[in-house]
Amino acid sequence: MFVKSKMERNPITINPEASFFEARKLVQEEGIRHLPVVDNKERLVGLFTDRDIREAGPSDATLLSVQEINYLLGKWNVGGLMTPAENLSPSHPTPS
């Protein structure tokens, strides 16, 4: 019963074609750490997390300017950065 009481009936989701910046904004505004990525048929195709955001960002040793970094991040979409559904833990099965 504990899990049922904590689960969202209508979770916030995003499409794999959404931009990195759209996903990051949604994660930050909603205060969430995991954003389910669903296709046009509402099937889970992956998970975009705060870890994905951190990993997409530049290292402290980068020589790129802020403008260059933002340009490159703007080229990425969620589908290229998310953890694909088939790589998620078996304890989190994907719905059929």
pLDDT in tens, the chain (96 residues): 555 666 667 889 999 999 999 999 999 999 999 999 999 999 999 999 989 988 887 777 778 888 888 888 888 999 999 999 998 876 555 554
Q: What is the pLDDT of residue 2?
A: 57
Q: What is the DSSP letter of 91?
A: T
Residues 6 or more apart whose CB falls under 8 angstroms from that of 7 comprise none
- HSE-CB at 72 with a 13 A cutoff on CA atoms is 11
Tell me which residue has tokens 């078996």. 90
Domains and CATH numbers, the chain: 11-87 (3.10.580.10)
pLDDT of residue 90: 64
pTM of the full structure: 0.75
Tell me the C-alpha to C-alpha distance, in Å, between residue 12 and each of 27, 32, 62, 66.
9, 9, 33, 29
What is the model's pLDDT at position 6? 61
